[in-house]
């Protein structure tokens, strides 16, 4: 039986190199696995962090600590939490602290990304109205009604804006009526009815009969005729001159008769009589 052949130095070196390569490959695989695991843990932490911040924000909001609640909720929003869940809570704590402008700053970026969110837009319009920005409030309310014409609260809000801030009772009346049409027994129905203008359809109308003027009476508007013009303080009555007592006889005004004496007039209806000639004496 032949004896075992000793391993040469070259063969030993080759085996050692092969083992080192295998070991290095094993270490590389382990390192790669550890890196993937770290990334997965980091990703999980990132996914859980907004949820944890949201829960802490809710907890502080329930305790009434609105400042800390705002910090955690804004962190959750920045971390990628669902704005539909976070924003209502975040706006609520800001409104509780009367931080209306800050609440608008939180909401407007979401509105730019999702302009069809009419519920959030209505809240933003109310916030603008709270800080006295009438133009922005009107713009946002009109956008709400453009996308949702049946939004009763938007009609009521813009009616109040027209009534109190713009002094436009006609447009206010229009939107108050639309609110009452949509919600006849709504929360603001009594105030809306009390703010309505007089209903022109049911209001009594003044009936005026006009007679077309004749050609002799026609004159420019505001101009008076000579027979109507008289000095101030003069009482109305017949013009000076002969007094018409009947259709047949005219009696001139007395000039030299004694006071208290009047000349009897001929009864109406008798034929006119010629005056008797007076007797002339030398």
Tell me the per-residue pLDDT of 16-71, one tens digit each, with 9 for 90 and over. 545 444 444 444 444 446 677 666 656 555 556 899 999 999 999 999 999 999 99
Q: What angle do CA 200, 204, 207 make, to 5 degrees?
A: 115
CB 125 within 8 A of CB 109: no
> φ, ψ for residue 190 (rounded to 5)?
-65, -45
Q: What local confidence, expressed as pLDDT, does residue 157 receive? A: 97
Q: What local confidence, expressed as pLDDT, does residue 42 receive? A: 60
Residue 251 pairs with which residues in a beta bridge?
A: 243
Region 64-79: mean pLDDT is 94
Q: What local confidence, expressed as pLDDT, does residue 198 receive? A: 80
**Between 231 and 183, residue with greater pLDDT:** 183
Residue 213 has pLDDT above 70, yes or no: no
Q: What local confidence, expressed as pLDDT, does residue 230 receive? A: 47
Cα separations (Å) of 174 from 130, 153, 155, 156, 170? 23, 14, 9, 10, 6
CB 47 within 8 A of CB 76: no
Q: What local confidence, expressed as pLDDT, does residue 145 receive? A: 97
Region 187-200: mean pLDDT is 89
Residue 149 has pLDDT above 60, yes or no: yes
Residue 8 has pLDDT above 90, yes or no: no
Distance (Å, whole) CA 162 – CA 111: 25
Alpha helices by DSSP H, listed for the chain, are 9-63, 66-78, 83-96, 100-113, 118-130, 134-147, 152-161, 169-182, 189-194
Q: What local confidence, expressed as pLDDT, does residue 180 receive? A: 97
Q: Sort 251 into a burial class: Cβ within 10 Å, 0-12 / 13-18 / 19+.
A: middle
CB atoms closer than 10 angstroms to residue 177: 18
Q: Which of 9-23, 46-60, 125-139, 255-269 has the highest mean pLDDT?
A: 125-139
Residue 136 has pLDDT above 50, yes or no: yes
Region 114-131: mean pLDDT is 95
Region 146-168: mean pLDDT is 96
Q: Sort 156 into a burial class: Cβ within 10 Å, 0-12 / 13-18 / 19+.
A: buried
Residue 184 has pLDDT above 90, yes or no: yes
Sign of CA dihedral 213, 219, 220, 222: negative
Residue 140 has pLDDT above 90, yes or no: yes
Q: What local confidence, expressed as pLDDT, does residue 25 receive? A: 45
Residue 236 has pLDDT above 60, yes or no: no
Give the whole-number percent of the chain exceeding pLDDT 70: 54
Region 117-139: mean pLDDT is 96
Residue 106 has pLDDT above 50, yes or no: yes
Distance (Å, whole) CA 16 – CA 227: 141
Whether the predicted model's global pTM rises above the 0.85 cut? no
Distance (Å, whole) CA 255 – CA 79: 114
**Between 92 and 223, residue with greater pLDDT:** 92
Window from 125-129, 138-142, 239-243 with minimum mean pLDDT: 239-243
Distance (Å, whole) CA 212 – CA 184: 48
What is the pLDDT of the chain when averaged over all its residues? 73
């Amino acid at each position: 039986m032949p004896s075992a052949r000793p391993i040469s130095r070259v063969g030993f070196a080759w085996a050692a190199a092969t083992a080192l390569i295998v070991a290095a490959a094993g270490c590389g695989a382990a390192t790669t696995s550890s890196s993937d695991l770290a990334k997965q843990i980091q990703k999980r932490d990132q996914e859980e962090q907004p949820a944890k911040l949201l829960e802490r924000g809710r907890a502080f909001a329930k305790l009434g600590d609105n400042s800390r609640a705002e910090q955690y909720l804004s962190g959750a929003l920045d971390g990628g939490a669902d704005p539909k869940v976070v924003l209502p809570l975040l706006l609520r704590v800001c409104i509780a602290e009367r931080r209306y402008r800050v609440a608008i700053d939180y909401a407007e970026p979401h509105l730019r990304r999702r302009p069809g969110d009419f519920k959030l837009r209505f809240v933003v319009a109310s916030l603008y109205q709270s800080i006295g920005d009438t133009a922005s409030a009107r713009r946002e309310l009109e956008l709400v009604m453009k996308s949702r014409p049946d939004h009763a609260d938007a009609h009521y809000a813009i009616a109040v804006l027209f009534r109190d801030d713009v002094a436009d009772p006609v447009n206010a009346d229009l939107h108050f009526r639309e609110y009452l049409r949509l919600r006849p027994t709504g929360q603001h129905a009594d105030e809306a009815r009390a703010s309505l203008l007089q209903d022109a359809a049911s209001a009594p109308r003044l009936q005026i009969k006009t007679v077309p003027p004749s050609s002799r009476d026609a004159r420019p508007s505001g101009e008076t005729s000579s027979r109507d013009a008289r000095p101030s303080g003069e009482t109305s009555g017949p013009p000076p001159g002969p007094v018409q007592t009947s259709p047949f006889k005219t009696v001139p005004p007395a000039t030299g008769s004694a006071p208290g004496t009047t000349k009897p007039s001929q009864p109406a209806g008798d034929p006119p009589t010629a005056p008797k000639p007076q007797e002339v004496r030398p």
